[in-house]
Structure 1
Amino acid sequence: MRVRICAVGRMRAGPEKTLVDDYLTRFSRTGRALGLGPAELSEVEDKKGGGSPAEALLLRKALPPGAAVCCLDERGKVLGSPVFADRLAEYRDQGRSEIAFVIGGADGIAPDLVAEADMVLSFGKMVWPHMLARVMLSEQLYRAATILAGSPYHRV
């Protein structure tokens, strides 16, 4: 099952990009034997400044047809890492060929796009900058692959 992160904004060179690239590479390498990956990042940018509704149109175009969609939203469900890993495995085992994680811009994701999602995920009650959310998601994808592989990376 391929993984795509569809995110608003362009990530410039720097520590966040380095971390995202590293964790997605690790995920793709670890997940290959598990039927997970590769992972890729699709970035969209609303140059006309239409806010979350305009961003939602661009994000929809970036979503792979038939993909399971997971929106990251502060009002979403908070999952532990093992449960998140199980959810990925469930989508894979259901025969989904792709899952897309959606990260909105500064104003979040348009409510209509969130309502269409198969899963709405939160990284806690705090609001995180969308560039850090990419890092956190990338690390959790790698962690999920290691959990499913039985690797000691995740400790309880």
Structure 2
Amino acid sequence: MRILICCIGRMKAGAERELVARYLDRAKAGGRALGLSGFDVSEHAESSARRPEDRMAEEGGALLSAVPPGARLCLLDPRGKSLTSEDFAARIGRERDSGTGAFACFIGGADGLSPQVREKADLLLSFGAATFPHQLVRVMLAEQIYRATTILSGHPYHRA
């Protein structure tokens, strides 16, 4: 199963980009034996529409166009569920075991994700009630994906 991170906005060179790359490289190395692949990031331009609703619709369309048909959608959303790392790993494992071809995680723009995109979600995931910068959310997601591969493989990286 392919793991995809689809984001609105482009991350500049720097520490955050390096951390995302480091965690996804680690996930790639450990994920192969688990039947996980890809660990790709697709970045999409922020909409320049005037109204927030129009921006969210355009950005949502861009994100949806980046995933193959039948992909399971995990949307980062402050109104979503707060899962433990073990629960997130188990979710990825169940999707893989059920034959899902791709598991795509969406990080929306400054206005969030449109209700139409949120309705398509298989999982609304929250990293808590606090607001985090987009770059840090991407790092946190990449780390949780890497952590999921270590949990699924029994690697000692994750110590609860």
In structure 1, distance between residues paired with 2:27 and 2:76: 19
In structure 1, distance between residues paired with 2:46 and 2:76: 19
Give the deviation of 1:125 after TM superposition: 0.9
Identity across the alignment (%)? 50
Give the deviation of 1:70 after TM superposition: 0.6
Pairwise CA RMSD:
1.0
Q: In the TM superposition, what are the counterparts of 1:69-108 in structure 2 within 5 Å?
A: 69-108=73-112
Give the deviation of 1:66 after TM superposition: 1.3
Structure 2 unaligned regions, length at least 5? none
Which of these residues, 134, 138, 153, is aligned with residue 142 of structure 2? 138
Q: Normalized against structure 2, the TM-score is what?
A: 0.94
Q: Deviations over 1:56-113 (max 9, x none)?
A: 1111111222111110000000000011100000000000011110000111111210
Structure 1 unaligned regions, length at least 5? none
Q: 1:104 to 1:47 in 2, by over 3 A?
A: closer
SS at match of 1:108: coil
Q: In the TM superposition, what are the counterparts of 1:1-156 in structure 2 within 5 Å?
A: 1-49=1-49, 50-156=54-160
In structure 2, distance between residues paired with 1:22 and 1:115: 32
Give the deviation of 1:46 after TM superposition: 3.1
In structure 2, distance between residues paired with 1:140 and 1:57: 25
Q: Contact 1:73–1:108 at 8 Å: present in 2 too?
A: yes
Q: Contact 1:46–1:58 at 8 Å: present in 2 too?
A: no
Give the deviation of 1:47 after TM superposition: 4.7
Give the deviation of 1:34 after TM superposition: 0.5
Q: Which moved more, 1:127-136 or 1:46-55?
A: 46-55
Q: Counterpart of 2:61 in structure 1: which amino acid?
A: L
Q: Counterpart of 1:135 in structure 2: which amino acid?
A: V
In structure 1, distance between residues paired with 2:38 and 2:57: 29
SS at match of 2:95: helix
Structure 1's consecutive aligned runs of 4 or more residues displaced over 6 angstroms after TM superposition are none
Q: Normalized against structure 1, the TM-score is what?
A: 0.96
In structure 2, distance between residues paired with 1:122 and 1:64: 24
Give the deviation of 1:20 after TM superposition: 0.4
SS at match of 2:37: coil
The alignment of Structure 1 onto Structure 2 pairs a total of residues equal to 156
Q: Contact 2:2–2:101 at 8 Å: present in 1 too?
A: yes
SS at match of 2:40: strand
